[in-house]
Chain A
């Protein structure tokens, strides 16, 4: 698909709709992670609805599918919202989010019992290795599947990320595309003060990756980079500069909104801002 043929405004509206839905299910659940869901929303909207990710939600196990992994699994509010809008689960299933006896197993962090989810998450640092294993497996099978994995910026403080970074480079796994949702805020503190991950580009570059940096809320930039043909022999990382809590002014850039559900008052206020 050519960038000219992608309905950017349509995608931006879709992202707004998904932000509302993610906040709604977190509000209804009474717990969850709004900040990191809102920062990843535009990236996930582009992947699932911008003609990037190859999938058929009626056949979630099709071996020829592209794969998507949310390694920063706490952003499940946006993940399940996307899966519902993409048809993997029903929107009515979302009422069970974080509730016991959830029919689609909509746990606080994703699990493969939910259609569209490849692997369990909840412990940071594992998703890049898993994604790499999937990319090696599809390549062995002679498929042209791509594997996309979203990492948190705080998450790349985990040592295993760099083990995996070395591995994917060693095996020239060029069908692996990592996206760092660089919202610059972690649970405890702003990431820079918690333990600075900059210079991020230089780090990934020195590990042998094809590095790109974009504004993770600019839909045109996101689509352009995701449409780019894969590198001939390097895995790719996209550093997406984002804002934690993006779209809700009082949540933006705030550590406090990492893992807290909004009150009724805050939820209503947020919905107004999200049009």
Chain B
């Protein structure tokens, strides 16, 4: 298990998969922060720093993909997606080009740079795009494995990565698979479906709850789309109460994705969505913002109790 940011896992794994001559990496002038810089040093011919021009980067990646290359187009999630909706829709998704869009610095966990740098609408946006798959790993190990899986996956993808260091959850025996949720901890009475940093946040909450003899389950949903319908239906039926947890706006992210599955199956259970409550946050450290905007482990503990009481 490794304690490091998911963006670090991405950067390090690129060096490994870069031995495949079809892997190309693009960045838009932030390669130090996105961790693609080392790929550029190791494979300079296959690294394209497009300057501060995300729209150009996304379409250049699409062009490279049509020649059989596997482009990883990387930037801060805010600008990678915020500036390029049109480019992603037409040149990537509709054209079905094999482009991996890698957005780092997701969520309010970004912290001090403030709301213009905190991407909280990307899951809603990418999930709504036909042909696009959407993945958010929970820790270093999963991010490393997912990077490799994405290189093998044929088709457009959005890979959502974080800035802060996260505690390791999985060891090398873990097997990441696109489209599969995984049981992190099995308990009873209630299940949390969490993604990204909120998996770790949920684990901390669960330690506190265990002291009060509340032992619940935790499922890591790293593929937001196509979502693992089977595990959601099965675990919801088994537990009869659920919580979703994500560092994203409450509209359109994991909570809604899980809710859609339950609606399709006409399953009605006590259900609490932990997410940013349709507002922009502010500056501050990541943990301070998690506390103030309702994402911290303390909020999860409270939500578990409230949800259990509705059973």
Contacts and interface: CB of A to CB of B under 8 A. Distances in A.
Interface of A: 63, 111-112, 118-123, 125-127, 129-138, 140-141, 159-160, 163-164, 166-167, 170-171
A164 B56 contact: yes
Interface residues of B, number: 32
B60 A133 contact: yes
A119 B63 contact: yes
A141 B91 contact: no
Interface in B36-90: 45-46, 48, 50-51, 53, 55-69, 71, 86-87, 89-90
Nearest to B28: A163
A120 B67 CA distance: 15
Output the residue of A111, A118, A137 with the most chain B CB within 10 A.
Answer: A137
Contact of A133 (B46, B53, B64, B96): B64
B25 interface: no
Contacts of B59: 126-127, 129-130, 133, 160, 164
B51 A166 contact: yes
A119 B53 contact: no
Query: Majority SS of interface residues in chain B?
Result: helix
B95 interface: yes
Contacts of A134: 63-64, 66-67
Given A126-B87, A171-B48, A119 B95 contact: yes
A121 B86 CA distance: 11
Given A140-B45, A140-B46, A164-B60, A130 B91 contact: yes
Interface string B100-120: 000000000000000000000
Nearest to A137: B67
Contact of A123 (B62, B71, B90): B90
Query: Majority SS of interface residues in chain A?
Result: helix
Output the residue of B58, B62, B63 with the most chain A CB within 10 A.
Answer: B63
A140 B60 contact: no
B97 A119 contact: yes
A133 B61 CA distance: 6
A143 to B, nearest CB: 9
Given A119-B91, A133-B62, A140-B45, A63 B67 contact: yes
Nearest to B94: A120
B24 interface: yes
Output the residue of B59, B62, B65, B87 with the most chain A CB within 10 A.
Answer: B59
Output the residue of B58, B71, B90 with the most chain A CB within 10 A.
Answer: B90
A59 to B, nearest CB: 15
Contacts of B86: 123, 126
Contact of B55 (A131, A132, A135, A160): A160
Contacts of A138: 67
A167 B56 contact: yes
A120 B53 CA distance: 21
Interface string B284-295: 000000000000
